[in-house]
Amino acid sequence: MDQDNQTSTDFILLGFFPEFRYPDLLIILLLVFYILALAGNSVLILLIGLDARLHTPMYFLLSQMSVIDLIFIPSTVPKTVANYCTGSKSISFFACAAQMFFFLFLGLTECMLLTFMAYDRYVAVCRPLRYAVLMWPGVCLQVTALAWVGGALGALVNTWYPMSFPICGPRVINHYLCEILAILRMSCIDTSVYEMVKFVSTVTFLLIPFSLILASYILIFLTVLKMNSPKGRHKALTTCCSHLTVVSLFFGQAMFVHLTPDSSHTPKQDQIGAVLGTIVTPMLNPLIYSLRNKEVLEALKKCMGRCCD
């Protein structure tokens, strides 16, 4: 390990699954996922911006999700690849804090946007005649702004607090990114007060949104069961299927990380959870939202037709 340029406040990241026998293969897969995520989310944002048929609240929220994914994956992957290629494992105190902030900021914002997307689907299926009133553009902009600001404030508190703790012993993190659990394990002082802050944040930004999403889909499915038209039932379920898939991926990973006891986490499990949240999910989201969505596929065909003309 080259520590010539390491300062006393730097941390050491052991890297992307350091015990794996074929690290070159992991880095290649990481770069492939990185390129696919950037390309898929960029194309989706472009299609939503160019096609007037996609200028609806649902697709506006979907574009915000793609913006999150476009920021999410570059916040970790370039540093991981650069450290591997250069042989350096150090990360500065401020770069570590920045990684933690963006990881939390984007995750919290995505959580709130997923909740509002569930409400959008609820109104579309259960209150279709009031959709234009309840989901007018001003409401979408206000809620989206609230999600971004709320995510930033929540992330700021949960980054500044643990990063202010004094560190004892080696500043080594068995991960490819800086994470709160690793910082807490290195802390010299009692972190019980922060544990309470973390609990309140988890309830506010994870359990309450999940409960609201669950309630929305229970009402949606009850409404679908009452529909007489098979075509109407199929259309309603199809529009919700993609969102439910993304919700399952997001909350499954988030609940494993934040609701299971910290002592039960191994470094390998922490890395798997982080990979799912910061790399795999941003790559899959554009595919999930487009493959079963006729409007997006038609917009893509239309755009490709224009390019070929």
Q: Which CATH number do you get for residue 247? A: 1.20.1070.10
Domain of 207 in residue numbering reads as 11-301
Are 47 and 108 in contact, with CB atoms under 8 Å apart?
no
Instruction: Supply angle C-alpha 83, 87, 88, rounded to 5.
Output: 60
How confident is the model over 136-165, as pLDDT tens digits?
A: 888 999 999 999 999 999 899 889 888 888
pLDDT computed for residue 110 by the predictor = 92
**Is 193 within the bounds of a domain?**
yes
Among 83-97, 138-152, 190-204, which stretch is predicted with the lowest mean pLDDT? 190-204
Domain count for the chain, please give it.
1
Question: CA torsion sign, 176 to 199 to 248 to 103?
Answer: negative
* Distance, CA of 128 to chain centre: 29
- How large is the greatest C-alpha to C-alpha distance in the chain, in angstroms? 72
Asked whether residue 1 is assigned to any structural domain, the reply reads no
Higher pLDDT: 265 or 20? It is: 20
Angle at the Cα of 180 from the Cα atoms of 41 and 188, rounded to 5 degrees: 165
Of 81-95, 101-115, 180-194, 230-244, the range with the highest mean pLDDT is: 101-115
In a domain, 267, yes or no: yes
Contacts of 23 (CB under 8 A, 6+ apart): 15, 16, 17, 84
Q: For residue 295, what are its two tokens?
A: 């409007």
Is residue 4 situated within a structural domain?
Answer: no
β-sheet bridge partners, residue 13: 173
- φ, ψ for residue 274, nearest 5 deg: -70, -40
Is 118 among the domain residues? yes
Q: Which tens digit of pLDDT belongs to each residue from 34-78?
A: 999 999 999 899 988 888 888 889 889 999 999 999 998 888 888
Q: Let me know if residue 199 belongs to a domain.
A: yes
In a domain, 2, yes or no: no
CA 61 – CA 285 distance, rounded (Å): 13
Residue 2 has pLDDT above 60, yes or no: no
